[in-house]
Chains A and B, each alone.
Chain A
């Protein structure tokens, strides 16, 4: 790994000196303290992002963004861990994007981008049901709506006011999931027959076979402008990037009904027909985005002591719709309001499993954008309209950002989670936190 860093530094300096590569980036520290658990320090990430880009000719452009990070909380459990510096002081290197653009390729109207890239589809704010080409990156639950780059090829053909997109992703990439203390919010507890106690749990992820027909995905989109609105329609053929249970094997460890559980998870095929719209009604900015999802039927098999104990359909092959509608408005006193309604979060699948969410953010900038106050960022989750009193979730946050110098940002904030019953925020209501961030861009 040290060789990699040396190589990066060498490349950085060499490229800067000997060519016209533009280098930019940022240094950032993020820190979080849990309000419960006596102020447990849950997150200390220090990172350096580096971007390299250049245009060797008018029709060629290259870009790469890498992130070098150090997690300040030691992952030491035993003395041997202290002998491995990478465990004692956890760090990593991520390639976020790395691609080559070829403009006006074969035709003046055709642009091609090849390489690891993030393709952002959809007009809603951060919650985009039509954005399925890149896997969700939930490794940091705070980085709402983040996607990982995918190795892919994108063609964009410009035809007057319309643009046609075609994307091919040769190899499936799964989503990254939140850490243990957050993943419980998205997981459904394992439903075992009465009387059985699961004493240990292990799971295996079954990725699609590494064959083009199994692992590849593709999508098309047409985008344009009509009647003063930006519109697009899209199609995606690929896989759900969140894993789904396909089998559970229960093996008895004693005669007292105690069992070891072993689960297998797969990524079901899906087809998604998407559409989005953005524009204004009067002075209010409005948008809407919907994804009609056709999933492949998925069965869950239960084995008890190696014998098939039952089989049920965990995901029906019935289409369902996830959608987001929203709007924003700036009041005379410069207070900015952004509100969205979402039906179906990324991990919810099937007509009967989709919950409703109301998202609202109030923001006001002062001192010519040097001070940004967001006193209210709220998300209200309603899984069951007939039982709101007993099943609901609320996330409430506030944030203050100050920019004392150009390109320098200090952010302090907090969020509080609450809820009842089987809701995301109810399951994570012990995770209230205060956070602090410093970022300098160069």
Chain B
């Protein structure tokens, strides 16, 4: 009798977990909606670059974002990088301002997988990505606190074979992403730490990208983070790309 009761309980638990467990697609859609929830955001950032010998170099900048695809990043130091600015606009249009040439250059797609200004972040990393639109998603594991997803690119026009993403259940914020090359080797890892709730929005105050091919990492530390300050559309234009 006891055996049957245990079996019944087990079946009930399995049915409940199947009914209430989220499928991968709904998880990744929640990730997208959490990542791009704020109407706008602005922050200052420090960037710490560490090479394989432990040598450290620093950068500083400001970051602005409005909606999901208007994004501007401008370096404020060191002196030879000051003023370099990256602008992302809808329809995958990206511009780079190089003060040394007083010119705004449009970023062609061959540049998008290259590293931005000597950091471990590529131009693509800095741009907005809707994971649900870009990847086919499969759930690998669900723990008490997080969900592990496998993301495979829908397009072949990428350097990666798959991404393994860990999503925090509490916030639906992706806290870690492993990037695998076409030979299925782990080549980069993105870690988002100090995931904090500001009013209604979750935000990682520290983001670190580590490249295992070069044993190099870049850490971004965000400060003075503000949300929904009604940033004007004009800030995300070539007019404002040059420092003013």
B-binding segment of A1-9, A252-260, A275-283, A384-392: A275-283
Task: Choose from A55, A282, A441 the contact partner of B80 (Cβ within 8 Å).
Answer: A441
Q: A120-B101, A280-B109 are in contact. List 16 more A-B contacts (CB 8 A).
A: A26-B80, A111-B239, A120-B103, A156-B239, A228-B93, A279-B108, A282-B109, A284-B110, A285-B106, A330-B114, A365-B118, A367-B51, A368-B214, A406-B57, A406-B78, A409-B80
Q: Is A402 an interface residue (CB 8 A)?
A: no
Q: Are A163 and B239 in contact (CB under 8 A)?
A: yes
Contacts of B237 in A (CB 8 A): 158
Which B residues form the contact surface with A (CB < 8 A)?
49, 51, 57-58, 78-82, 91, 93, 101-103, 105-111, 114-115, 117-120, 214, 216, 234, 237-239, 244
Task: Choose from A283, A285, A370 the contact partner of B118 (Cβ within 8 Å).
Answer: A370
Which A residues form the contact surface with B (CB < 8 A)?
24, 26, 55, 61, 101, 103, 111, 118, 120, 156, 158, 163, 225, 228, 230, 278-280, 282-286, 328-330, 334, 365, 367-370, 405-407, 409, 441-442
Distance from A183 Cβ to chain B, minimum over Cβ atoms (Å): 26
Given contacts A368-B49, A368-B216, contact A407 B79 (CB under 8 A): yes
Q: Are B214 and A280 in contact (CB under 8 A)?
A: no
Docked complex Cα distance between A278 and B108 (Å): 9
Docked complex Cα distance between A365 and B57 (Å): 17
Minimum-distance CB pairs A-B, first 9: A285-B108, A369-B118, A441-B79, A406-B78, A441-B80, A407-B80, A283-B110, A280-B108, A407-B78
Docked complex Cα distance between A328 and B96 (Å): 15
Task: Choose from B78, B103, B108, B117 the contact partner of A369 (Cβ within 8 Å).
Answer: B117
Docked complex Cα distance between A50 and B81 (Å): 16
Contacts of B105 in A (CB 8 A): 278
Contacts of A283 in B (CB 8 A): 108-110
Docked complex Cα distance between A382 and B111 (Å): 31
Docked complex Cα distance between A391 and B101 (Å): 33
Distance from A84 Cβ to chain B, minimum over Cβ atoms (Å): 36
Docked complex Cα distance between A241 and B216 (Å): 49
Docked complex Cα distance between A329 and B111 (Å): 8
Distance from A53 Cβ to chain B, minimum over Cβ atoms (Å): 9
Q: Are A284 and B108 in contact (CB under 8 A)?
A: yes
Docked complex Cα distance between A286 and B105 (Å): 11
Docked complex Cα distance between A26 and B80 (Å): 9
Contacts of A406 in B (CB 8 A): 57-58, 78-80
B116 closest partner in A (C-beta)? A369
Contacts of A367 in B (CB 8 A): 51
Q: Are A279 and B106 in contact (CB under 8 A)?
A: yes
Distance from B237 Cβ to chain A, minimum over Cβ atoms (Å): 8
Distance from A136 Cβ to chain B, minimum over Cβ atoms (Å): 15
Q: Are A230 and B82 in contact (CB under 8 A)?
A: no
Q: Are A285 and B111 in contact (CB under 8 A)?
A: yes
Q: Are B244 and A329 in contact (CB under 8 A)?
A: no
Most buried by A among B51, B79, B111, B120: B79
